[in-house]
Structure 1
Amino acid sequence: MARYTCSFIVSVPIDHLQALLLELLQDCGLDVQYYTADYIMAREIPGNVSFSQLVTVEVLVDKSSATETETRMSIVIKNETLPLQLNNHCRQVFDFVRQTIEQSRHWHLIESISG
């Protein structure tokens, strides 16, 4: 199973973050399946790749360490195929979502760590 992770610290009020993330994920072509105040799960819409290559995105918001000006969040992007090539479909979606978060005009990116 391919799995990529990244953590961010963004400067945005926590009560605005969820709506901004939902919009961002939908703009990335993902279908939001489930969300709570500190968790969002979205999936790639079927049709462009095989079923096993469909990507799932999970966003975890760390509400316990959030301040009025900074919020930490982590994303996990995964699918069911083995990452036999460095430039696989899951990695491409991960890079796209990560860049979209880093370049979003809705917040100021303080820190980004890919793992």
Structure 2
Amino acid sequence: MARYTCSFIVSVPVEHLQPLLVDLLQDCELDIQYYTGDYIMAREIPGTVSFSKMVKVEVLIDKSTATETETRMSIVVKNEELPLQLDNHCRQMFEFLKQAIEHSRHWHLIESLAG
């Protein structure tokens, strides 16, 4: 199973982050499966790639450390594909999503830490 993670600190109030992330994920051609105030689960739309390569994305918003101006969040991008090549589909989607978050006009990126 391929799995890639990244943490971000962005300058946006925590109550605004979740709806902005839902829009960002949908703009990245991901279908929102489930969300709460501090968690979002999305996946690629079926039919675009084989089932084993379909990417699932989990976003965790850390409300416990959020301030009025900064919010920490983490993303996990994974699929059932074995990461036999460095440039696999899951890694490509991870990099695409990471760049979308880092360059979003809806907030200012303070920190990004890939794991």
Query: What TM-score range do you get, normalising by the shorter chain?
Result: over 0.9
The superposition leaves residues 29-81 of structure 1 with CA deviations (integer Å, 9 ceiling, x where unpaired) of 00000000000000000112110100000000000000000000000000001
Equivalents in 2 of 1:9, 1:17: separation in Å? 11
Identical-pair percentage: 78
Q: Does 1:114 align with 2:103?
A: no
Equivalents in 1 of 2:71, 2:16: separation in Å? 11
User: Displaced runs of 4+ in structure 1, greater than 4 A?
Assistant: none
Stretches of structure 1 lacking an aligned partner (at least 5 in a row): none
Tell me the TM-score normalised to structure 2 length: 0.99
Equivalents in 2 of 1:5, 1:79: separation in Å? 12
Aligned to 1:104: 104
Equivalents in 2 of 1:49, 1:107: separation in Å? 31
The superposition leaves residues 11-36 of structure 1 with CA deviations (integer Å, 9 ceiling, x where unpaired) of 00111101100000000000000000
Q: CA RMSD in A?
A: 0.4
Aligned to 2:64: 64
Total equivalences in the alignment? 115
